[in-house]
Amino acid sequence: MSVLPEDPRVGELSEAIILRGILERLGGSRALVGPGDDAAVLAMAGRVVATTDTLVEGPDFRLAWSSGYDLGWKSAAVNLADVAAMGARPTALLVALALPAETRLSFVLDLADGLRDACDRLAPGCEVVGGDLTVSPTLTIAVTALGELEEREAVRRDGARAGDVLALAGEAGQAARGLSVLFDRFRDADGRPVPVDRSGLVPDDARALDAQLRPLPPVALGPVAADAGATAMMDVSDGLARDAARMAAASGVSFDIDGAALGPHRAWAVSGGEDHGLLATFPDGRELPEGFRAIGRAVPARGDGPAVNVDGAAADGGWDPYRDWDGRSG
């Protein structure tokens, strides 16, 4: 029997040993059948909400900037937000990890910690019920989240009506600003990412970094918004300009946004994503649920005019993974 080094690389280990380590970090499962069989079995009543979102090294993160824990947290958070955006409560994650053979076991175990802690913090009761491990040249984390609508109707993107109030819950622009802090402050002369040293950061930059690396989408407010009569809802992953335009197109309206309502990071909020806040519309005159603030209003579709105006001028920008990736990794 070989003696393993203190922090082995996954390429030195069997799948079974890696899995055992991950499952220890995740803790026990309350599923009817949890990890370890061909599939998980879950008690889910009625309508099930399901979504998948992937983080890929390079376009979505750099290993110099994100720890395993950060990546576990973020890959859970972005999927939990998508479930919440339908008005549902997340109950289960499946996690497909594709790992380079040279990945340290400690990194994988930290990632499992991040997954678990994000579930505990953002969606108590939600847990990892299954997954898959493969080897890959590119570190890739594909998460599927499942949730329950209970008695609520799903809140879609296409229900906004002219006159509705446009409201936002969660951060607006912090995560995008955090990305700019990383690009501006933590690259070497050749543009390669270098490890983050927080000691020189002012508190607001440190908060922006946290928002980028470990976002806090307002997951619990998804069902709250549904109960409060939201007519449309989505999570903001690509910036308000792009995402509000998607809601506008689906609903057949346009939006007028009040820039002052977007807070101190207005430009980032419009053009940058990844806060995974919840954007929702509510009927005019309806009291907004706590946690949501009005940022504008739905108006009749402007046809060839702008789908989204901010203070009367067309909003543009927003992130497109196929157009905007700079091709670097590290």
Q: Which residues are annotated as a binding site for ATP?
A: 131-132, 157, 237
Question: Out of 26, 60, 67, 296, which residue is the one contacting a copy of itself (CB under 8 A)?
Answer: 60
> How far apart, in Å, are the Cα atoms of 215 and each of 77, 178, 208, 324?
7, 10, 9, 21
Question: What token pair was written down for 128?
Answer: 């990892």
**What token pair was written down for 96?**
């497909």
Size of the site for a copy of itself (CB under 8 A): 75
Which residue ranges make up the annotated binding site for substrate? 60, 274, 319
CA distance 109 to 111: 5
Q: Which of residues 221-240 bind a copy of itself (CB under 8 A)?
A: 233-235
Shorter beta-carbon distance to a copy of itself: residue 133 or 201? 133
Ranges within 120-139 binding a copy of itself (CB under 8 A):
129-138
Which one of the spans 178-186, 261-269, 307-315, 321-329 is the region binding a copy of itself (CB under 8 A)?
A: 321-329
Q: Near a copy of itself by CB under 8 A, which window of 45-53, 104-112, 190-198, 288-296?
A: 45-53
From 88-96, 178-186, 188-196, 257-265, span contacting a copy of itself (CB under 8 A): 88-96
Q: DSSP assignment of 190-244, as one string?
A: TS-B----GGG--HHHHHHHHHHHS----TTHHHHHHHTT-SEEEEESS-HHHHH
171 φψ region: left (φ > 0), alpha (ψ -120 to 50), beta (else): beta
Phi, psi of 255 (to 5 degrees): -125, 140
CB of 148 to a copy of itself, least distance (A): 10
Among 190, 197, 200, 323, binds a copy of itself (CB under 8 A): 323
Nearer to a copy of itself, 140 or 309 (CB): 140
**Least distance in angstroms from the C-beta of 284 to a copy of itself:** 24
Q: Which of residues 163-222 bind a copy of itself (CB under 8 A)?
A: none
d(CA 21, CA 23): 6
Residue 156 contacts a copy of itself per CB under 8 A: yes
Residue 76's Cβ-count burial label (10 Å; 0-12, 13-18, 19+) is buried
